[in-house]
Structure 1
Amino acid sequence: MKRISILLHIIFLPIYSKAQTSIKGKVMDAYHQVYLENVSLYLVQNKLNILSDSSGSFQFQKLTKGLPDTLLVSIMGYKKLHIPITDSRFQYILLQLDKPNALAEVKVKANVPMSEDFVNHKINFLDVVLNASSKADPLLAVQSTTAASPYNESASISFRGSNPQLTQIYVNDIPIPEPIKFTQMSSIGTFSLIPINTIKDLLIFPSNPPIELMNASTGVVQIQTNESFNKPSLELDVSLGQTGIYWTPWSKEKNGISFFGHHQFSPLLKFFNPSSLSNLPHFSESDWGMNAYFQTKNLWRLKLFSLFMNEKYASQFKHPSFEGIFDYQKNRHIQTINLSKLLEHAQWTFKFGLHESAQRDSTGNYAYQPKSLHLFCGIDLQLFPMEKWTIKLGYQWLQAKINYQIQKPFFNFDYRPQSPSILFSNNPSISQHELFLSSNYELAKQFRFGLGLKLIDSPQLNHFQITHQIHTRWYIRDSNTYTHVAWSKQIASLFTLEKDYIWVNSQQLSWDIIHEQELAKWGFSAYYKTEKSTINTGQAWGAEINYSLLQPKSKHEIGIGSHWSQLNDGNLIQNSPYQIPYFLRTQSQWKWKYFDLSISGILRSGNYFRPLISSTYSTEWQIYIPQFEPRANQSLSPYLRIDAMISKIIHQSERVSWITYLSIGNVLNRDNAKSINYSWDYQQAFQEYFQKRIIYIGFQLRW
């Protein structure tokens, strides 16, 4: 095997104070775009030795002898390097393999999802925690990217004008149905099922998702859980609306196991925000689970993730025909297992996933009680025949079943408890088999090419379906600028109450161009796609522009986009609810001596709605019957929201630290219209609003 040069980017951020000097940095493999852990870093004069963590980060504190100093960097399989450290803030270091070592290279490749070669956006732990809009929630952080159509304030993600139900979430390549807590309706607390403490990386594919992922169609979020446990630790989280614990009782080298639990409650939060939460009588949520990673000396690897959850929620339901309480309860259980074996030029992986839930919600003459069970299993083989070539092939199976009973109004305009209703039940199911082959190859230093094929079989399909995908990436002039063009045809199953399980066929074409520098990055994206099902046909198109700037004590991002989408049900063509003609996102972070400040903002066009034509009184049913325009051709006033967060990290010792924070959502307390509602006789119209200003205070203790 050829001798391989690997560029390790080590970014040093010296922080000076009267008491001490500290150095922070990251270690990255630039070729594979992966952070390296367990890299040994030693300061000669200060006699300090540490290892980089799973995110490639390291930090030297209490430099009693100060700077300058010499840093020794070493990792097995690479040549050691001596780096003089003075006042430089950024240094780039070129290391070479000490000797040909195929297994060392395979270890690096096997730790990186194959799809990462063509990822649109990658989010790490700090991107989530320091985002004022995300509230430390991973899917809300995804929602704050320009590829997400910001049609509402929840973590239910619409990628580039598509139905949020078509956005798939994967944990360690295993599909997770219903990944959002229903308590998201309160716009408070964390919405994602997956706790931020367990997450290593999030990969975002708003278009042309990796074909090796099961049941993917328009867009996906690929989550990888932790693969490294540095030391036993305990984290406590206490705030106005939540208490939580994350405990790692045992860890050895990379192996470890963690337990977590959270409980959301409403009394304190309602006390401090009485007017903003007046429409929420109560809400609560409890979850607990486990995350573990084990690796043997002969390179067997096991990843486990378990989650149990109970939710209760109540809100004021307002309709011209009825006002009352909407009650919701849900229990669910998630289990994922990944077992892999690393060989000299390959890696085998077995995957198993389980999701089961029971739900009950009701208001007026409406009630819905579904029970669902999803089983997933798969086996794949990833090959590394050459330095620049990766192949992945495998088989996957998904079995989904829903047993539900529903009571719905006979007339969609009458929710009174005594009014006529329809009661029916069903137990639809679907079985889906997939065979896939995916290949990524670097044809030249400036050009990468990816090709994927998938064969899909299901009893609900009349015949086998073949889907395909092409990814290309060109590096222009240098490695700092590249363009990415992708095209795919994919098919996925989707559950709807109207038709039970349906199939959605999608075709997508996307183009991205990105330029990266040491302290700045800009990008432009454009796309077009179609989505066809037995219910309707949709098409979407648009563009996005992003720019980010990193300064010594601040970071700034801005994004501008336009997402257009239409739906055609065979009789009518109208704007999709997820169409956003224009939007502007901003995100800024400042680090000062006494506290850190994060501010995010969004300005977008208002939601579309169907105007009221007239209403007539029915003497038979003793209710007013409305008549609306067939098309949603009018929009509400523009949406503007600014969120802010002030935080402070206090290091009491090398093991103990505090993080205190004050978060203010909708700082301007702006009335952002969500929809139009009417009086009982439809003679008066009034707007319903998104969340008003919310004050949230809390702290985290880590030791």
Structure 2
Amino acid sequence: MRSVLVLVICSVYWNTVLFGQSCKSVSGFVTDATTGEALPGASVAGRGSVGQLADMVGSFSLPATTGDTLRITFIGYEPVELVIAACELKVTLNPLATDIEAVVIEGDRLITEEFAIRKLHRLDVYTNPSAKADPILAVNSTPFATTTDESANISLRGGSPAETGIFLNDVPIEDAVRYSQMNGIGTFSIFNTALIDEVQVYPGNPPMEFGNSTSGVIALYSDEQIPIRNSTQLSISLASLGAYHTRRVTNRSSLAFFSNVQSSALFNYINARALRGLKSFFSADAGFHYFSRISPTLSLKMFNYTLREAYRYQYVHPTMEGVFNQDRVRNFTVANLRKQLGSYSLSLNQGISFSSADYTFSSLDIESPAQNYYAALNLHRSTSHYQWKTGVVYEYKQSATRGKYPTYPYAYGQQFGSIPVNRQDNIGLLEWFGYYKHYIGNALTVGAGLRKNLPNDDIDYLSWQGNVNVRPARRWNINLSAGDYNKYILQHERNSKGYLLMSRQYSLDVTYLDRKFDLSMSLFRKNISRGGGREQLSGLELFGRVKLGDSWKTQLSVTSLNAHDDSGNGTAYNIGYFFRGNVEYKIQGIWTFTLVFLMREGSYYYPVDATVFHDDLQLFEPVYSNSPSRLPSYNTIDFGASRIFLLNDKLTAIAFINVANVADFRNVQSYSYNYDYTTRAEQLFSRRVVYFGIVLSF
């Protein structure tokens, strides 16, 4: 009896201690029980439909009182239910146990992974309003992006977009943009963010294991997680309707389907004043992603994508004005097979792509089909002291131009005639590469590599690369790299042929990173040779990001580029300043408000100095200046707001609204001229544009 009485008294005492603390709200962190890392996006559900998703550092805060029950879930982890005993909690989740054999396949990431300047994860893309949920546009908001237009064609550190290599699961993707014009410029990438697990960005000195790039690499990797339950995501916005569904096929495999339709009808109606030149656009795409752990040491991944699109815009030319039409279809497939053999990893990466684009405007009527085939067999060995990787790569590229061009580039109109064009350009490249890196203690890594082609049609080159990575203290990282890089460029214009683009680069990157501060400084220089012309470019990047408490975050980057050709004229990327920054404010991890700004010096263009009148044509031919002039400076401020709704433990909604160029700056993109080139009019980038939508996940 005495023992029972003591037990009752102890029970009352502990309940008083645990539940005597009255709370109106509860806050805390969700972390991995094994690694201690934060789990951003974990679902924390309270009474009824009250709940939220943990923010970027795994924190949450929601209305609740002591004695209530919380349910915390995260994909790939065992769910937890707990009774609130304090106003502040630390919740740890254990990885979900499975009944399959232990998986020992290592991800076939780049051997130079630690030399990447920035890594972006899926949540980084979704929470960046400038990215518009697009992984490539997310790169465009980083400090080393020097893109001078409002497109998904990314320039890294003053390199042209043609020099940037874009890879999906280690396979190069040519023309990775939607609504691509004849100059290759497009507005969005073709990648579905729901499929992307990580984006690695190398702004300079691209990894030697990848050819097809001379000025930076954007390497995207699809998700390899097998979901514990089937899930669906629906997205509805001002210009699109999309669906994404992923399901577990077996304990070892998963399959995802996605589709999206974009239409400009409502988008144009809401933004009619801002997009006067845009007549219409439409696209429909679909694809699938399959992943299978065939055995504990063997995995297979397949990705297929199909797209059809149309784009119409008002084109102004001195000889006529009308609607420019462009239509395009494309399909590509990427397959990856990986085999783990102890400390060795063998991988086979393949890709095949077909596309066809049609462009029509007055006397211009061009069809441009293209195809690409890629295959790479790589062997990678990794130990605690060193790594090496070697491989053989074959790539075949083909493009054609068929139809008719205006007889004179300065005279559009059926009355001026046209000339037929039937040109095809192709190249097959067989290359070998090898890369070795060595770990010297915990603070120093050195690496070097070569890449050589089998000489073909007078194309003979050798690329090399050297890297030194120093970590003098826990939060500091210093990268020093140099190299020669080569890439063969196929042309899509009427009188040009492909050429070898060569670039010698040197760069120094210093970073400091902790929970509150992210600081970096970069110095770089490039000597570029393309089609017989030469350019020299040097640059400086400064970047700082600071977290002010749990609610505020701000960042600022400053970039300066000095670029000239052999004649001493400034090139397109001779831009004295790029200022890019943002301020972000969060309310309990539910509301997010972001203000983004960009200011840069205007790009160079070549003005018309004089004209020549042709009596036979009865029109003027422009004579352009040999010295470039600058466009006015470019300035924009974008505003974004989003709200997370946790409707229940299975249904989540994210509503968002973005206002681009909220101050309605008149940024000049180019100039159009009247028939005799005596007057000119400004052609502007986008004015104020409103975009909103909602994403439902269940």
TM range (shorter): 0.7 to 0.9
Within a 5 Å distance, the mapping from 1:297-312 to structure 2 comes to 297-312=295-310
2:206 is aligned, of 209, 222, 241, to 209
Residue 10 (str. 1) matches residue 5 (str. 2): no
Greater displacement, 587-596 / 237-246: 587-596
> Could you tell me which amino acid in structure 1 is paired with residue 517 of structure 2?
A
Q: Hey, what's the Cα distance between the residues in 2 that align with 1:206 and 1:589?
A: 25
Q: Hey, what's the Cα distance between the residues in 2 that align with 1:394 and 1:265?
A: 43
- 1:9: Cα distance to partner? 4.8
Q: Hey, what's the Cα distance between the residues in 2 that align with 1:75 and 1:461?
A: 55
Q: Hey, what's the Cα distance between the residues in 2 that align with 1:300 and 1:609?
A: 54
Could you tell me the TM-score, scaled by structure 2's length?
0.86
Q: Hey, what's the Cα distance between the residues in 1 that align with 2:579 and 2:308?
A: 36
1:484 is aligned, of 472, 479, 487, to 479
Residue 132 (str. 1) matches residue 129 (str. 2): yes
Q: Hey, what's the Cα distance between the residues in 2 that align with 1:368 and 1:631?
A: 32
Change (3 A) 1:576 1:650: same
Residue 161 (str. 1) matches residue 158 (str. 2): yes
Greater displacement, 331-340 / 588-597: 588-597
Q: Does the 8 Å CA contact 2:274/2:686 hold for their aligned counterparts?
A: yes
Q: Would you say how many aligned residue pairs link Structure 1 and Structure 2?
A: 645
Q: Hey, what's the Cα distance between the residues in 2 that align with 1:506 and 1:58?
A: 50
Residue 289 (str. 1) matches residue 281 (str. 2): no
Change (3 A) 1:365 1:575: farther
Residue 583 (str. 1) matches residue 581 (str. 2): no
Q: Which residue of 2 aligns with 1:405?
A: 402
Aligned residues with identical type, % of pairs:
22
Within a 5 Å distance, the mapping from 1:241-280 to structure 2 comes to 241-252=239-250, 255-280=253-278
For residues 159-211 of structure 1, the C-alpha deviation after alignment (integer angstroms, 9 at most, x for no partner) is: 111221111110011000010112689x9997111111110111111111111
Could you tell me the TM-score, scaled by structure 1's length?
0.86
Within a 5 Å distance, the mapping from 1:438-477 to structure 2 comes to 438-463=435-460, 465-476=461-472
Q: Hey, what's the Cα distance between the residues in 1 that align with 2:166 and 2:359?
A: 24
Change (3 A) 1:63 1:191: farther
- 1:617: Cα distance to partner? 3.2
For residues 79-128 of structure 1, the C-alpha deviation after alignment (integer angstroms, 9 at most, x for no partner) is: xxxxxxxxxxxxxxxxxxxxxxxx98x75x53643231110111111221
Residue 672 (str. 1) matches residue 679 (str. 2): no
Change (3 A) 1:513 1:59: farther
Residue 604 (str. 1) matches residue 600 (str. 2): yes
Q: Does the 8 Å CA contact 1:46/1:66 hold for their aligned counterparts?
A: no
Q: Which residue of 1 aligns with 2:176?
A: 179
Residue 382 (str. 1) matches residue 409 (str. 2): no
Identify unmatched segments of 5+ residues in structure 2.
1-32, 59-67
Q: Which residue of 1 aligns with 2:529?
A: 532
Q: Which residue of 2 aligns with 1:320?
A: 318
1:620 is aligned, of 575, 591, 616, to 616
Residue 692 (str. 1) matches residue 681 (str. 2): no
Change (3 A) 1:190 1:685: closer
Change (3 A) 1:16 1:211: closer
- 1:671: Cα distance to partner? 0.6
Q: Hey, what's the Cα distance between the residues in 1 that align with 2:696 and 2:325?
A: 34
Q: Does the 8 Å CA contact 1:149/1:579 hold for their aligned counterparts?
A: no
What SS class does the counterpart of residue 584 from structure 1 fall into? strand
- 1:297: Cα distance to partner? 3.6
What SS class does the counterpart of residue 124 from structure 2 fall into? helix
Q: Which residue of 1 aligns with 2:559?
A: 561
Q: Does the 8 Å CA contact 2:404/2:419 hold for their aligned counterparts?
A: yes
For residues 433-461 of structure 1, the C-alpha deviation after alignment (integer angstroms, 9 at most, x for no partner) is: 11111122211211011111112124223
* Root mean square deviation, CA, Å: 3.0
- 1:254: Cα distance to partner? 6.3
Change (3 A) 1:392 1:7: farther
Q: Does the 8 Å CA contact 2:578/2:598 hold for their aligned counterparts?
A: yes
Q: Hey, what's the Cα distance between the residues in 2 that align with 1:697 and 1:444?
A: 51
- 1:271: Cα distance to partner? 1.3
Change (3 A) 1:585 1:59: farther
- 1:274: Cα distance to partner? 1.4
Change (3 A) 1:216 1:613: closer
Q: Hey, what's the Cα distance between the residues in 2 that align with 1:363 and 1:201?
A: 40
Q: Which residue of 1 aligns with 2:330?
A: 332
Q: Hey, what's the Cα distance between the residues in 2 that align with 1:76 and 1:256?
A: 16
Q: Which residue of 2 aligns with 1:349?
A: 347
For residues 537-566 of structure 1, the C-alpha deviation after alignment (integer angstroms, 9 at most, x for no partner) is: 122110100111123123222110012222
For residues 294-319 of structure 1, the C-alpha deviation after alignment (integer angstroms, 9 at most, x for no partner) is: 11343211111110000101100101
Change (3 A) 1:18 1:378: closer
Change (3 A) 1:462 1:287: closer
For residues 184-239 of structure 1, the C-alpha deviation after alignment (integer angstroms, 9 at most, x for no partner) is: 89x99971111111101111111111110132222111110111132311111111
Q: Which residue of 2 aligns with 1:80?
A: none
1:521 is aligned, of 495, 500, 518, to 518
Q: Does the 8 Å CA contact 2:121/2:198 hold for their aligned counterparts?
A: yes
Q: Hey, what's the Cα distance between the residues in 2 that align with 1:309 and 1:698?
A: 22
- 1:61: Cα distance to partner? 8.0
For residues 7-52 of structure 1, the C-alpha deviation after alignment (integer angstroms, 9 at most, x for no partner) is: 9452378999996787948899xxxxxxxxxxxxxxxx97978566
Q: Which residue of 2 aligns with 1:500?
A: 497
What SS class does the counterpart of residue 669 from structure 2 fall into? strand
Q: Hey, what's the Cα distance between the residues in 1 that align with 2:128 and 2:144?
A: 16
Max Rg structure = 2
Q: Which residue of 2 aligns with 1:368?
A: 366
Q: Does the 8 Å CA contact 1:9/1:26 hold for their aligned counterparts?
A: no
Q: Which residue of 2 aligns with 1:86?
A: none
